[in-house]
Homo-oligomer: A and B are copies of this chain.
Amino acid sequence: MFELLATDPSSSARRGRLTTPHGVVETPIFMPVGTQATVKAVHPDELRSLGAQIILSNTYHLWVRPGTEIIKEAGGLHKFMNWDRPILTDSGGYQVFSLAKLRKIKEEGCYFNNHVDGTPMFLGPETAMEIQATLGSDIAMLFDECTPWPCTHDEAKKSMELTLRWAQRCRDWVDQNRPQTGGGAQLHFPIVQGSTFQDLRERCARELVAMDFPGYAVGGLSVGEPEADMMRIAEWTCPILPANKPRYAMGLGTPPQMVELIARGIDMFDCVLPTRLARNGTAYTHEGMMNLRNAKYAKDFSPLAEDTHPMCQGFSRAYIRHLINTQEVLGLRLISLHNLHFYASLASRARLAIEQGSFAEFRAEVISRYQTRSEPTDP
């Protein structure tokens, strides 16, 4: 299912190929986020045109609206949203912990009221896997507890152990039910937790590897911890994960973070930043983030960036700034598409660099050109 095509001599970066029921994914890969069965403001044809090979969708959101019954009757999530390439779904756990109200975590799972109309709901390992089986995603994530940061070693340990017990229950459900999609078997990835503690991360990774899954995720990243911790967690975890399985860092990150995590052996990424930042007029460039609301762009008739999506060509920064200032949807569309193109292109350049043995230069160039801080907005 996962083929390792090349490795980088200067780092732990890998060039791989993951085969899923709905098609092949070349890694390292960035997955656009389609929270509610749509990548915000973007048409599936546009996703294809920017080379998106796989997208992520959120189980919790789809479960609340429109509900699994409708998606089931539609013939699964691919048909419902008119997307025939691979889809990864998360387990719903993260949104329960971050969005839902009155939540109570128990051994059996999580009781909560949903954030839309307050309906009481329950999500546990078996339910999370059953919903994802109904959605028919190509890759389904195991139900875990995303440990909050900061936390004590004891809290992180208890939480990680719950994740391990839940992983076993997910595994049992999957073994009994063997969910299929697109004429093949759905893939299931567990999530390594353990906060910023090396012993917990290593133990969690080892125990999950012993359960033998087709891929592994690193969770609990980008939840507030310093960037150095994020890198250390990847450094502790990746060597324990099998070389012949893909590795997915969930919910990340800035362009330099992505490149640095590729260097540490991560293969898959998803992040809402490209579409979320588009909403307030922030565009990615190789030099950093550009805030188009700023007055300095009012009469800047140069293009958004030299390297952009074809549909963004012909529009000036001044025009896109006007669209954002007047809350016009086309502004959001153009910046979303540009930002997704930027991330897709970053991943494709990383793949090429690893193939060509020039990843060290690529990494150094990205880091040195890219300013890690956003351009401040005018007061």
Contacts and interface: CB of A to CB of B under 8 A. Distances in A.
B38 A330 contact: yes
A28 to B, nearest CB: 27
Interface string A326-346: 101110110000000000000
A47 to B, nearest CB: 11
10 contacts: A36-B328, A37-B323, A40-B329, A40-B330, A45-B311, A61-B326, A66-B298, A80-B316, A80-B322, A82-B315
A318 interface: yes
Contact of A299 (B43, B70, B329, B332): B70
B38 A328 contact: yes
B41 A319 contact: no
Contacts of A65: 322, 325-326
A81 interface: yes
B81 A319 contact: yes
Nearest to A336: B329
A325 B66 contact: yes
Contacts of A38: 323, 328-330
Contacts of A43: 311, 330, 333
The number of times this chain is found in the oligomer is 2
Contact of A73 (B301, B326, B332): B301
Interface residues of A, number: 37
A292 to B, nearest CB: 12
B41 A329 contact: yes
Nearest to A328: B38
Interface in A283-335: 298-299, 301, 311, 314-316, 318-319, 321-323, 325-326, 328-330, 332-333
A162 interface: no
Given A80-B319, A82-B319, A328 B40 contact: yes
Interface string A45-87: 1000000000000000100011000100110000011100000
A36 B70 contact: no
A18 interface: no
Contacts of A44: 314
Nearest to A323: B38
Given A36-B323, A40-B330, A43-B330, 7 more contacts: A41-B333, A65-B326, A66-B322, A70-B298, A80-B318, A82-B314, A82-B315
Given A298-B66, A301-B74, A319 B45 contact: no
A42 interface: yes
Nearest to A65: B326
A108 to B, nearest CB: 29
B74 A326 contact: no
Contacts of A318: 66, 70, 74, 80
A37 to B, nearest CB: 7
A58 to B, nearest CB: 11
B36 A299 contact: no
Contacts of A42: 330
A322 B187 CA distance: 27
Contacts of A323: 36-38
Contacts of A45: 311
Contacts of A81: 319
